Structure 1
Amino acid sequence: MPDTAEPTRLLREAGLRVTRPRLEVLAAVHAHPHADTGTLLRAVRDALPSVSHQAVYDSLHTLTGAGLVRAIQPAGSATRYEGRVGDNHHHVVCRGCGAVADVDCAVGDTPCLHPSADHGFVLDEAEVVYWGRCPQCAAAPA
């Protein structure tokens, strides 16, 4: 988040009340891309020590519903959150340590992949998760 006015503007434009927990959660998501709820709770508590786990969880749910935060859930992993929204990007996940990184859409507009059959659905997103080992895990002895 570039400045303190930006999160307030984003919340208001989304039709949400501006609350301290929402501001802190939004800031934490941008400061810690692909973080799980526990990591975000610790980050929010650094700025707002009395915040409850439920307030952080509710804020994440509200911000995700408003499209200000994106939730991703790689198979076998806790839900993670990121502030990169509004584009159709994908993720690469390390099988060793669970690190996650963004991967831009390879070709085309949203969705960047076109299925052989859409079964009547109006498609607006394609999700691809690449799996492998990050450089640190790949370099570690087996």
Structure 2
Amino acid sequence: MTQPRMDTDATLRSAGLRVTGTRRAAYDALRRSPHQAADAVFRDVAASVPGTSLQSVYNALADFVAAGLVRRIEPAGHPGLYELRIQDNHHHLVCTGCGRVDDVDCVVGHAPCLTPSSTNGFVVQSAEVTFWGLCPDCRAAG
């Protein structure tokens, strides 16, 4: 058994999830490439777990989100994307040309980073900020 598999299995178990081939492969796919849509995770999983269905990958991703292992982000005009970076309050850069998504650290350093002009009685815990622009590759191709 390789070290990443043992790490993945331990991570899933510590979150109270049963270890299955699909869950293991989906979590490992996100380790290799963050900010993936479910379809991309499915393609990765199907290569290593024959017979896996798209629905089982969606179920695994939903289980990860519910267990607090994965964060789902939804940049406007893009499918939901999944990432493992959940321990901090970070934001995203999204390329308007190719759709590339990169992480960027919090603009202030602690949650919620931004303070609204009025909370309307809410206790604000976090803020999601998405920066839009052209990535270096799209600018160079421009």
TM-score, length basis structure 1: 0.92
5+ residue gaps, structure 1: none
| Whole-Å separation in 1 of the counterparts to 2:30 and 2:52 | 16
1:47 aligns with 2:48: yes
User: Is the 1:32–1:40 Cα contact (8 Å) retained in structure 2?
Assistant: no
What is the identity, as a one-letter code, of the residue corresponding to 1:132?
A: G
User: Is the 2:30–2:83 Cα contact (8 Å) retained in structure 1?
Assistant: yes
User: Is the 1:94–1:131 Cα contact (8 Å) retained in structure 2?
Assistant: yes
| Whole-Å separation in 2 of the counterparts to 1:30 and 1:132 | 25
What is the identity, as a one-letter code, of the residue corresponding to 1:130?
A: F
- The alpha-carbon deviation at position 8 of structure 1 amounts to 1.4
Q: Which residue of 2 aligns with 1:139?
A: 140
Q: Which residue of 1 aligns with 2:92?
A: 91
Once the two structures are superposed, residues 41-82 of structure 1 have per-residue CA deviations (whole angstroms, 9 ceiling, x without a partner) of 111111102110000000011101111111111001111111
Residue aligned with 1:131, SS: strand
User: Is the 1:95–1:133 Cα contact (8 Å) retained in structure 2?
Assistant: yes
Q: Which runs of structure 2 are paired with 1:1-142 in the superposition (5 Å)?
A: 3-141=4-142
What is the identity, as a one-letter code, of the residue corresponding to 1:16?
A: L
Residue aligned with 2:137, SS: helix
User: Is the 2:5–2:24 Cα contact (8 Å) retained in structure 1?
Assistant: no
Superposed CA RMSD:
1.3
TM-score, length basis structure 2: 0.92
| Whole-Å separation in 2 of the counterparts to 1:8 and 1:122 | 36
| Whole-Å separation in 2 of the counterparts to 1:126 and 1:106 | 10
| Whole-Å separation in 1 of the counterparts to 2:126 and 2:79 | 21
What is the identity percentage for the equivalent residue pairs of Structure 1 and Structure 2? 48
Number of residue pairs matched? 140
